[in-house]
Amino acid sequence: MTQLFLSLCLAASILFPFGDQPHPGDPFIIVNKQSNELAFINEDEIKKVRTVATGRSKELTPEGTFTIIVKAENPYYRKKNIAGGTKENPLGTRWIGFDAKNTDGRIYGIHGTNRPDSIGQYTTAGCVRLQNNEIEDLFNEVPIGTRILITSSSDSIEDIGMKAGALSR
């Protein structure tokens, strides 16, 4: 009986992992608002570190660990009724939305830009902004369900990744 119970618990923990920690090797994104950097981690290795734009005030870009739940090519900008794929669209060519503040992945996201000069600045309404070519690359590599950690830290990306459990070295 005890052996059966232990076997069921082990099977359940594999199917339904406990906690918010990524497993080493899983895709993972880190955004450090202090340095305005985004890191993409996969297969226990930092694959890319890119400069981003974040919220024009500290509280606009939410901090915490979230999940990517929406991806869209040439996203429509509903706030100002701007069609996707147009030069006027401030969301650029791709949208990777996450569930911050119990939203549906359409409020907070990582997206491109029609203002490439804004990258590296504190200028957004809360999203994380990348150059269009960089969001296109990330879009192709990040599956739905990827975890994203947004923080404001003086630690290196590697140290943040190790503390988050995304890196095992």
Instruction: Give the whole-angstrom CA distance, residue 46 versus residue 137.
Output: 15
- For the chain, which residues make up each domain, given as ranges? 28-164
Which are the catalytic amino acids?
111, 127
| 75-96 tens-digit pLDDT | 999 889 999 999 999 999 999 9
Position 5 pLDDT exceeds 80: no
For the entire predicted model, the pTM comes to 0.86
- 155 pLDDT tier (thresholds 50, 70, 90): very high
Helix (H, G, I), strand (E, B) or coil at 74: coil
Q: How many CB atoms lie within 10 A of CB 15?
A: 7
28-164 carries CATH number 2.10.109.10:
no
Position 23 pLDDT exceeds 50: yes
Instruction: Give the whole-angstrom CA distance, residue 46 versus residue 28.
Output: 9
Instruction: Give me the helices (H) in 72-155, please.
Output: 132-141
